[in-house]
Structure 1
Amino acid sequence: MDSVTTLTTCPSVPTTVWAGPRARAALDTFFKGFGFTAEADLSTLAAWVLDGFGAHGAQPQAAVALARARMETWLSGVLGLEHSGPGLLSRGRAAFVLCDGASRGARLLTRPAAPEDFVRAVRAAVPVPAPAQVSSVMPEQQLVLNPFGEMLRRWWRGATAGMSTSP
């Protein structure tokens, strides 16, 4: 007897959106960085990213670039103008993970607006950016070959009135 296999689709994922296996794996890895682990959530997010995009044979780099752009747009809407700029995705990802946004499911990202309580929590959880690195000159260090002798020298100099313990 011949068997017939039929495709079963997830009702939340449109059947017109199919990502190649490499692009889907890259998208799954990207969204796992936000805390999503359920297969249904990952499928929904892949469909959300690739909606309207020619996903047949999409390159993984292009799919991830599109996912980054979608998430930056979503995060800028949630975080507002005060957190926009360079590093939005990394700071937004940290705040999203700190607020456990993935536990609310993929619907949180795909709906038109996020709930107000979540928006307030994410805005409060955004990490403060570190100051820019500035190059400077390190002060010259002295090598002490005899630490016991150096300790005695400092003690002797400290005992003398008006003498500094520094060389």
Structure 2
Amino acid sequence: MSVLRGTVSDVDELVERVDAEDRVLGVVSRREAVRAGWLHRVGVVVCRDGQGRFLVHRRAEQLSRFPGHHELGVGGAAGVGESYEQAAARELSEELGARATVSLRFTFLNQSGLSPHWLGVCDAVLPEIVAPDPAEVAWHGWLTERELRGALRQWTFTPDSREIFARYLASQP
């Protein structure tokens, strides 16, 4: 049981309920936040390699949320007291076995997915070699921007992947 994540059990964790301005209102279980549609925070990281390619992965089939869907961001709910960057870096380590400097790029109120939440989109540069957790990641690959655009039209992605990609490209200097 991780104190940092505020885990209640293996399947539920404590998160900060936030308002429409991303201000903390209190602490609730993630399950309760999703069920009630309460806003909470999720941190994801868009990973690129030294050549600028994007890391895309397919979620494992046994996962409860979006099994078998492709995904652009690696991430999860921010625990109590955890920043978007900390949540994204933790998930990067847990899911891909990778460590990298994670920088917050932007936040937005994400209305897609299981429930509305604030999404903090970070980025990181990774080496091409990662060691994904097979319980989380069924497949991964590096795609150029053009290849990713095609994949987003043809493959089944998580509900927020298209919006993350569009906002990520729009936020580039």
TM-score range, shorter chain: under 0.3
Higher relative contact order (CA 8 A, sep 6+): 2
Q: TM-score, normalised by structure 1?
A: 0.24
**Higher helix content, 1 or 2:** 1
| Bigger Cα Rg | 1
